[in-house]
Amino acid sequence: MVPAVEVRGVEKRFGAVRALAGIDLAVEPGEFFALLGPNGAGKTTLISALGGLARADAGTLKVMGHDVIADYREARRALGIVPQELTFDPFFTVRETLELQSGYFGLRNNGAWIDSLLERLALASKAKANMRSLSGGMKRRVMVAQALVHRPAVIVLDEPTAGVDVELRQTLWEFIRELNVAGHTIVLTTHYLEEAQLLCNRIAMMKDGRIVALDRTAKLLSAFSERVLRVKLAGCDLPASLASSAEQKNGWWRIPIQDTAHVEDVLAKLRAAGAAVESLEVAEPELEEVFVKIMRRAPEARP
């Protein structure tokens, strides 16, 4: 099967900074893929290279088998990018913006799909509003609609939910999920790690222009994060029988647990020691913990 996105040996320098220091990556058709990393890791540079907006110094990038330089038009047609920065022409209305974008792809009778995008992104009432009159969150919705006018096979979202309210965030993910189920490949960058954990089946983590982790979400979680029992005690110490595996954080004890029987065992030990439990909860593995661990252990590589 031809990968939806294929990146081989890609390097990019900005003066002394190696923004991309040799990236190899293949995203399969139909995946919901996350590209994560701290500020400056190189995510946006990689997306720009994929969209043909920045030229890589070395390596090749393909979208649905089309080289982004040699087959620029086909590659661009297969790709929809929601950029991180809000760029728009202030003199057009929302609908005109989407019609203009359709025109770039030679799509004339695209009205029904534009209507559907406006509806799904809660923009229908703003169709005739001027772009400059929209709030930041609304402008971002238009960016999403703009990236989808030509129904691209691969949809890349560069921090699409930055500055977006909770309701739209949910509306947006519902829509993107549907597109994914319908067969579109999704590549997402976000600093909201719980979104990536919930949505993405595979995750790449970048640091200093390199990929430092790449695996299925479930595998990363089980390898780097554990289920813990969080316990708050009412003015007493943790019994010595539990203290060896536990650690204290913000007034809570964190006790790693393997299964439900283990929870019962911990509770029995607390009861036997006469410890008064104020609050109790089981915390599932979290991507944030995985991310912090991977970033800490990954070597500094720049410049």
Ligand X SMILES: Nc1ncnc2c1ncn2[C@@H]1O[C@H](COP(=O)(O)OP(=O)(O)OP(=O)(O)O)[C@@H](O)[C@H]1O
Q: Which residues lie near ligand X (CB under 6 A)?
A: 14, 17, 19, 37, 39-45, 84
List Cα–Cα distances, 112 to 96, 99, 152, in angstroms: 14, 11, 16
Q: Which is nearer to ligand X, 191 or 254 (CB)?
A: 191
Q: How far is the CB of 202 from ligand X (least distance, A)?
A: 18
Residue 194 vs 264, nearer CB to ligand X: 194
37 or 80: whose CB is closer to ligand X?
Answer: 37
Provide the minimum distance between the beta carbon of 38 and ligand X in the complex, in angstroms, as a whole number.
7
Closest approach, Cβ 52 to ligand X, in A, equals: 15
In angstroms, give the least distance from the CB of 289 to ligand X: 19
What is the CB neighbour count within 10 angstroms for residue 128?
9
Q: Please tell me what DSSP assigns to residue 46.
A: H
Whole-angstrom Cα distance, residue 42 to residue 202? Answer: 18
DSSP 113: H
| Residue with Cβ nearer ligand X (37 or 285) | 37
Q: How far is the CB of 75 from ligand X (least distance, A)?
A: 20
Residue 1 or 16 having the CB closest to ligand X: 16
DSSP string, 243-303: HTT-EEETTEEEEE-SSHHHHHHHHHHHHHTTPPEEEEEEE---HHHHHHHHHHHSPP---
In the complex, minimum distance from the CB of residue 2 to ligand X, in angstroms, rounded to a whole number = 26
CB nearer ligand X, residue 39 or residue 109? 39
Helix (H, G, I), strand (E, B) or coil at 164: coil
Ramachandran angles phi, psi of 80, nearest 5° = -125, 120
Residue 126, SS3 per DSSP: helix
The DSSP bridge partners found for residue 79 are 154
